[in-house]
Structure 1
């Protein structure tokens, strides 16, 4: 009868070792903001978070709509209309439903099941996209890929709302940024290997990209199963109900909580880091995406930025997510300013220059992602965390849809004008972030 208890102890011990190595546990704050019962399982839960997130983030890199899916549709004869829909469908589709989904998720005492289901659906959609790339061409391929991407985006929205709530219940306040930052770093390393393989020219690129889609599907399905092993305490279920009534109630938080409104303003300005890359690529006279290794080099620049910065940003976010948002805005502003200057001086003719500038912007983007996630989780109390997450994500989804206007501006005034505007938005975000509270120092 003693055997069943020894295995979990050994398992927990291994998880505890990994937890201590990654978090440098030495300040007695590991159980801040979580129940005592959850504290006991925190090392194991922390490791599950890191592995699950690493898998899903790697899957995101393998199916990157801005680069991978757009390359597939272009190479296989899909109309340009579908290529233009990829990023808006993915980004806005993942954010806009959240305000309404949150009301239902609020009624679930255990939200890990919602996240696992969302990850499973994303994996199924990725597998469907891979099969479509093998079997379809032209208009039919574009229609199926965009449709499956829309479904994948909705499943992603379920994961986004439920994840921050589960993270807030299972990992202490001073360790959450480290968990997400470590996962981003691991995922970036995997994507770098994938990008280098594509860039090497040793294999037929179309074959590798489709294999990558199947691998992304496997990553999502595996993370779905793994996440179910989390030890999650039951949470409050009040507030679940009619999604429209709940959404209307949630909108009131923007006016009743000034810090939430300021956070949404800051995050809204920082969408410049997400919208800018396509316009940066368009500046280059010789489109690097059409070269034999162009797709790989762009993926490599993005993944290297994540690998080099994610863990550092995560650790800094545990100390001050406010300062991370400020620094990220400043870094993005500098990267975009340099891009504008190089474009004006006609210094973007070499293939390597664009990936270097993209690398700088993506370092800032990683800071934005980790800073905003950590700040929101630590700013909101447990009863409002899911609502705040859904509200802010829905507002940002609307702004991303409106961001399509920049494509029109680029056609009329040029990409440099749009990038100069994004540069101003980034510096403005730095100023608005400076007015946020230091939520990590609050008890």
Structure 2
């Protein structure tokens, strides 16, 4: 069997043989190489998502910061910087990307920068301590996040040019599932290790390995066959960026999507508080870290393919379901803490809750990524991605300061308030048009 036939066979098995050859919204020449591009994209995203799992800013990086005695207030910036730093500059980045007929090179460059930043964080964790180490990690995480923004905008455009509709959600789904399988193995390794704390060298090896995964992702992505696309609008990046913000005023379906996506941030913002609540009730043994990594990996492994197929039928309904799941979890944990707080000390309860939350978050990610790609065509897709990501970056950075509420509210109350945003997000998502 030739390599081309093998790729075609595997592609048909992953997406289902029926209509596997259908090519909606891509060029005829791109249609001829869909199976190979689909598999290359799945493998490259597998490596990058596995890197994300190994260096998880919601679980792993806070543990690293605590081990090297970084100030507590810096730990609170990890998730906002990691997320918003990749989103805020995307309007300007999009202006640069629009000038490129072939845009996969932008993704590759971003992946290499992410690798360099993560390896550097590993070296800092190994060699430095205290506030200096903490500030160095924050600075390197900012560089990592900006590089991630490059890859994010380019990725949406490349997938829109190379993968047909009704197949795009499954790229994210299968790559997340496969990376989840490996993450499960890492979680099990920690779970069955001793309860002693890991050393800075252990964390350094983990983070350097994560950096190597982004390099592998770049090497695989370089093999994708992308054909030249439109370059209209490639003028002054900042001027074009300001002009493109007007899309929010003119385009009602897109504006509703951005508001919905902002409300669905609840799934990401509540995650660190579940970890903090677990540490408060159970301490910080390595086995607890393993349970949370295991929960995150298992959620990706089990749910991502389902969400991917669901999103290719209705990404709007995926967002609704995920938002409702997040809200139910937050309300349940608040009620448990209010009525039977002793239950939170059960060693399995909060990791189990985090597992379900991670499933919901996978749904949010797959749903909103598929929705925005299918909502537009051509360069309009790049505008949609960059404008929505920039606005979400601003909102996320503001909401990242929700940790300040911990001085007047309990952790479970903060979880409740953030989770209620999911109810509003689900209600608003109902009014979104179907795009599949």
Aligned residue among 33, 38, 42 for 2:25: 33
Aligned residue among 149, 172, 175 for 1:180: 172
1:417 aligns with 2:413: yes
The answer (yes or no) to whether the contact 1:184–1:306 under 8 Å persists in 2 is yes
Aligned residue among 230, 241, 244 for 2:238: 244
| Separation of aligned partners in 1, 2:409 and 2:84 | 25
The answer (yes or no) to whether the contact 1:59–1:219 under 8 Å persists in 2 is yes
Aligned residue among 220, 227, 231 for 2:225: 231
Q: How many equivalent residue pairs?
A: 432
The answer (yes or no) to whether the contact 1:89–1:153 under 8 Å persists in 2 is yes
Match runs of 1:102-141 below 5 Å: 102-141=94-133
1:6 aligned residue: none
1:306 aligns with 2:300: yes
Q: Which moved more, 1:196-205 or 1:130-139?
A: 196-205
| Separation of aligned partners in 1, 2:412 and 2:57 | 23
| Separation of aligned partners in 2, 1:328 and 1:62 | 24
1:348 aligns with 2:341: no
The answer (yes or no) to whether the contact 1:29–1:174 under 8 Å persists in 2 is no
For residue 26 of structure 1, report the CA deviation from its aligned partner. Answer: 0.7
Match runs of 1:261-340 below 5 Å: 261-284=255-278, 286-288=280-282, 290-340=284-334
2:434 aligned residue: 438
For residue 339 of structure 1, report the CA deviation from its aligned partner. Answer: 1.2
| Separation of aligned partners in 1, 2:261 and 2:62 | 26
Q: Which moved more, 1:160-169 or 1:418-427?
A: 418-427
The answer (yes or no) to whether the contact 2:316–2:434 under 8 Å persists in 1 is yes
The answer (yes or no) to whether the contact 1:189–1:303 under 8 Å persists in 2 is yes
For residue 28 of structure 1, report the CA deviation from its aligned partner. Answer: 6.1
1:205 aligns with 2:198: yes
Deviation track 1:136-188 (CA, whole Å, cap 9, x = no partner) reads 12222112211111100000000000000000000111100011100000011
1:382 aligns with 2:378: yes
For residue 241 of structure 1, report the CA deviation from its aligned partner. Answer: 2.1
1:160 aligns with 2:156: no
Aligned residue among 412, 423, 427 for 1:427: 423
The answer (yes or no) to whether the contact 1:168–1:377 under 8 Å persists in 2 is yes
The answer (yes or no) to whether the contact 1:281–1:287 under 8 Å persists in 2 is no
| Separation of aligned partners in 2, 1:334 and 1:66 | 21
Q: Which moved more, 1:133-142 or 1:363-372?
A: 133-142
1:357 aligns with 2:349: no
TM-score for the superposition, normalised by structure 1: 0.94
| Separation of aligned partners in 2, 1:409 and 1:89 | 19
1:76 aligned residue: 68
| Separation of aligned partners in 2, 1:250 and 1:69 | 35
The answer (yes or no) to whether the contact 2:282–2:345 under 8 Å persists in 1 is no
Aligned residue among 141, 148, 151 for 1:149: 141
The answer (yes or no) to whether the contact 2:59–2:275 under 8 Å persists in 1 is no
| Separation of aligned partners in 1, 2:78 and 2:416 | 24
Secondary structure of the residue aligned to 1:293 is helix
The answer (yes or no) to whether the contact 2:80–2:396 under 8 Å persists in 1 is yes
| Separation of aligned partners in 2, 1:11 and 1:102 | 35
RMSD across aligned C-alpha pairs, in angstroms? 1.6
| Separation of aligned partners in 2, 1:196 and 1:209 | 16
For residue 285 of structure 1, report the CA deviation from its aligned partner. Answer: 7.0
For residue 305 of structure 1, report the CA deviation from its aligned partner. Answer: 1.3
| Separation of aligned partners in 1, 2:332 and 2:39 | 39
| Separation of aligned partners in 1, 2:296 and 2:151 | 23
1:49 aligned residue: 41
| Separation of aligned partners in 2, 1:187 and 1:435 | 33
1:398 aligned residue: 394
1:11 aligned residue: 3
For residue 224 of structure 1, report the CA deviation from its aligned partner. Answer: 0.7
Gaps of 5+ in 2: none
TM-score for the superposition, normalised by structure 2: 0.96
| Separation of aligned partners in 2, 1:401 and 1:244 | 21
Gaps of 5+ in 1: 1-8
For residue 360 of structure 1, report the CA deviation from its aligned partner. Answer: 1.3
Distance 1:10 1:28, change over 3 A: closer
For residue 294 of structure 1, report the CA deviation from its aligned partner. Answer: 1.6
Secondary structure of the residue aligned to 2:344 is coil
Secondary structure of the residue aligned to 1:384 is helix
